[in-house]
Amino acid sequence: MSKVIGIGFLGCGNVGSGVWRLLNDFAGEMEHRTGLRFDIRKVLVRNPDKARCIDFAQGVLTTQVEDVLGDPEIDIVLEFLGGEKPACDYLMEALRRGKTVVTANKVAFALHWHELQKTAQEHGAGLYYEAAVCGAIPIIHTLEESLQANRISYIYGIVNGTTNYILTRMSREGAEYADVLADAQKLGLAEPDPSSDVEGLDAAYKLSILASLAFHGRVPFENVHVEGITSVKAEDIRCGQELGYTLKLLAIAKREGLMVETRVHPTFIRNSHPLANVNDAYNAVFLRGHACGEMMFMGRGAGDLPTASAIVSDLVRAASAQKHCYPTFDNTLHPQVALENNTDWQTAFYVRMLAVDKPGVLSHVTQTFTRYEVSIAAMQQKDAAPDGRVTLVFITHRASEKAMMQALRALDTNFACVESVLRVES
């Protein structure tokens, strides 16, 4: 006999509808495999009269959150509202009432993980959030369970599909950011308000979650350095391509001892790097563990069914669990010592500048770099612009972020004006 689990939805947009479809289309096969049958008892929506392609049974839709949270037959609450408020309050209340939560809400986790987990543990409720990072890619479970035996030293992630789509098209077409964004919005591939994606916040929420799990210590969202793609210029992508690099919005987390750096910014990587070939709206996570070595996980990071794939897997895991598990944030070697936030990381740089074409200018630039211990790895001089100035493109060796910024500020603008600075990881 199958076990029937009562579930309730908070919200039923794109992802909620995907979950409903997957649960319905796949119900027989899933019941056969897992011995579980899911009964969708209540679905919280804003407008029950809105036309929907889903055929909900009479009385399932409700506008009252209490109908979901207060139903004693609902064991598991699935949350698809997204954002901090009111979703977080609802999640907390569900946990307080001992209901297990399955969610795709990265904002709730990045900002309120501690309270959510504490409440879940106090009330013996489960907390499942695979879909919060990289949609269908099972990276949360992998970090929590499958890579237990590793000390992870770094993660490089392409964790935002919208920006990856925009940068891919800019790279292929030589097009400017604003034109590709407008087209992506027209095609429904970017949100009408794309700010969280294009300004890097979405990636930063996800990175804070990934880094916390990978490094077994809380890495607060506030510690993540965030730069988006809004100032990326087609000319820089082209110059990078000429030097053998591809530009990606990378979410980077590195750990050395207790020092952790987390940053999201446009980054040049060598064309030969596996992440350079992750295109369009695909996501990928590339990491290194001391035992497993380098690994890459790639897949769809958004969309109704890819996200539903992660949600329904969590649902099965939650419903089958004898005992819910929670990640530990004790640093295994130094339980009393917190991880430290490193804001002066080392990275290589790409610098494009417009320089006066006369003797001594290049020497001024190289001497200034030398003063701040920035070593040049490659340089290109381009044809003169109509005003007689030339474009100089530098790739540096790894240098301190702070020293590099000081060096650029120290350049004499009568000789050379910095047009763009981008980081390079290899």
Which residues contact ligand HSE (rule: CB under 6 A)? 160-162, 197, 202, 301-302
Q: How far is the CB of 88 from ligand HSE (least distance, A)?
A: 17
Q: How far is the CB of 311 from ligand HSE (least distance, A)?
A: 13
d(Cα 118, Cα 21) in Å, to the nearest integer?
A: 32
* 3-class DSSP assignment, residue 405: helix
* 3-class DSSP assignment, residue 312: helix
For residue 224, count CB atoms less than 10 angstroms from its CB and return exposed for 0-12, middle for 13-18, buried for 19 or more. Answer: buried
Q: Judged by CB, which is closer to ligand HSE: 161, or 217?
A: 161
Q: How far is the CB of 196 from ligand HSE (least distance, A)?
A: 7
Q: How far is the CB of 306 from ligand HSE (least distance, A)?
A: 10
DSSP-derived secondary structure letter, 2: P
CB 38 within 8 A of CB 5: yes
Q: Judged by CB, which is closer to ligand HSE: 161, or 240?
A: 161
d(Cα 236, Cα 331) in Å, to the nearest integer?
A: 40
CB 210 within 8 A of CB 133: yes
Greatest pairwise CA separation for the chain in angstroms: 86
Q: Judged by CB, which is closer to ligand HSE: 69, or 213?
A: 213
Catalytic residues: 206
CA distances from residue 84 to 109, 110, 202 in whole angstroms, order as listed = 9, 10, 13
Q: How far is the CB of 161 from ligand HSE (least distance, A)?
A: 3
Q: How far is the CB of 202 from ligand HSE (least distance, A)?
A: 5
Q: Judged by CB, which is closer to ligand HSE: 161, or 266?
A: 161
* 3-class DSSP assignment, residue 19: helix
Q: Judged by CB, which is closer to ligand HSE: 287, or 302?
A: 302
DSSP-derived secondary structure letter, 280: T
Phi-psi map region of 11: left, alpha, beta (phi>0 left; psi -120 to 50 alpha): left
CB 384 within 8 A of CB 390: yes
The strand order across the sheet containing 127-128 reads 61-62, 36-44, 3-10, 76-79, 100-103, 127-128
Q: Judged by CB, which is closer to ligand HSE: 247, or 351?
A: 247
d(Cα 392, Cα 263) in Å, to the nearest integer?
A: 27
DSSP-derived secondary structure letter, 145: I
CB 202 within 8 A of CB 106: yes
Q: What's the half-sphere exposure (Cβ side, CA atoms, 13 Å) at 390? A: 14
Q: Judged by CB, which is closer to ligand HSE: 176, or 199?
A: 199
Q: How far is the CB of 158 from ligand HSE (least distance, A)?
A: 9
